[in-house]
Structure 1
């Protein structure tokens, strides 16, 4: 699977299938990326944040985001409950804020749209990632004090900036 740069700020990148050897790198990435939000919510546990990734890790459904032959992030898309679930979408801090998340998400959503599949996900309350998902057509389906559950039907487009205001 390959992709590429989408703007002057977004680096060239590719997706490759995950391997069992990637699990500890991804577990560390998850702990790093989620720490601030989990601490803010009073839910950070140094062991649990890594173990939850290990417990649900699937090489079959996970792709590694690669920049310059190095792991820059990951994304999992797995079928369940009549939809595709977007999970474990993490970018290394040094590549965040440069359009990479949008580029990867567009690629993933093009594939799910081609399959006619609805995509579900959950994001932590107050996470900046929620804005990324809203820009790509996700809407809130349910929420609780910790999680926001979002959904995107095939081909959904985000509301225009004027409509969101």
Structure 2
């Protein structure tokens, strides 16, 4: 399995036309964790994305010129909220998710504001977030709520 350098992928602004690709990716990527937690619903997993989609705060991950994922960074209280970070399962573990996070976190660090997110209990994504400085604020039986405080400028 090869890793991707930052030059092999890019982020572009999302459009309303990206919604159904994102909806389907979300359903596929989240299915194993939602099934494990007893919360998978074929319709609900898609409808929640349709109801919450905000293209102006969403970026599409492009690999080799094709749709490969998405990430949403929305204003939230005193900083930002990272949501809907999905990457095609065939591309996971190749450094793309870390690269996307580094790019987004450089921006939020420059602003000096925290980033919050929630991840499903037992999700492998939690390790990715912890590697990038996120810590647990609180947990419930389904979600882990995490925060990353800005890193000081070098």
Instruction: Give CA deviations for 1:106-137 in whole Å, capped at 9, x if unaligned.
Output: 00100110111100000000000000000000
Matched, 1:112 2:108: yes
Partner residue of 1:126 out of 117, 122, 126: 122
Shift of residue 99 of structure 1?
0.8
Whether 1:10 aligns to 2:4 is yes
Could you tell me which runs of 5 or more consecutive residues in structure 1 were left unpaired when the two chains were aligned. Answer: 1-7, 157-165
1:94 aligns with 2:90: yes
2 CA distance for matches of 1:9 and 1:80?
32
Q: TM-score, normalised by structure 1?
A: 0.88
Distance 2:106 2:77 in 1: 20
Q: Give the whole-Å Cα distance in 1 for the aligned partners of 2:46 and 2:79.
A: 26
Q: Deviations over 1:20-79 (max 9, x none)?
A: 000000000000000000000000001110111111101110000001211011000000
Give the TM-score taking structure 2 as reference length: 0.94
Distance 2:109 2:56 in 1: 20
> Aligned residue pairs: how many?
149
Aligned to 1:77: 73
Structure 2 alignment gaps of length 5 or more: none
Alignment RMSD, CA only?
1.1
